[in-house]
Amino acid sequence: MGYYGFPVRETVAEKRARNARALQNFKKLNPQVTIKQIQVKGNRIGTSFWGKAWCDNLSHYADYGNRICRGKSYLKEGAVFDLNIQKGTVTGLVAGSNITPYHVTITIRPLTNNRLVKKIDGNIESLEELAEGKFPIEFGHIFLTRNHGLFPTSKEITFKCTCPDSAKMCKHISACFYAIGLNLMKNHSSYLS
């Protein structure tokens, strides 16, 4: 306890160290599992066009806004131990108050080809820009609309966490969503032209 009976807050460095210890403990208990802590370099998570757009879209899935900010902090503090992205499913392990990490599962219904074709139809010059590795501005307006864009709608995505939080999207799920945005940053570096 600190002054006036208030608890002393951990610094980000202390939280990172605690999460690193939790990861080591998890590895000792589960030697057959190969996982590593996801590290964020710098202060920004999504700096590519797609990574930033994904992170900006997260508010559409949240039932409580504060869980989004907490999830972002969890990722920056090294609480996301593992992120496994497969077709239609993302799984992750996220440190929390429990001695073992929480398991997060995100399921995304695959996007139909018809939806993509309808979006691109009639934009031949834009397709040429895409072939050159550029992202045309007009595609941003087409692909990033809330209910008809490329990102899944709330009906096309489900997520769950083993934590006891009653929120539909807890901070652990939010941390995994941000880790996906970080992964989009690493894998797709084309920027809005």
pLDDT per position as a tens digit, 63-98: 888 888 899 999 998 899 889 989 899 999 999 887
Q: Supply the Cα-derived Rg of the chain in whole angstroms.
A: 19
Q: Which residues, 6+ apart, have CB-to-CB distance to 105 below 8 Å?
A: 89, 90, 91, 159, 160, 161
Confidence of residue 30 (pLDDT cuts 50, 70, 90): confident
pLDDT at 22: 87
pLDDT at 191: 32
Q: Which residue in 77, 91, 81 sits closest to 9, CA to CA?
A: 77
Most confident of 21-25, 117-121, 135-139: 21-25
Confidence of residue 192 (pLDDT cuts 50, 70, 90): very low
Confidence of residue 124 (pLDDT cuts 50, 70, 90): low
pLDDT at 36: 77
Backbone angles phi, psi at 169, to 5 degrees: -115, 100
> What b/e sequence results for 74-101 when a residue is b if at least 16 CB atoms lie within 10 Å of its CB, and e otherwise?
bbbbbbbbbbebeeeebebbbbbeeeeb
Q: Kindly state the average pLDDT of the residues 115-135.
A: 60
Rounded to two decimals, the pTM is 0.77
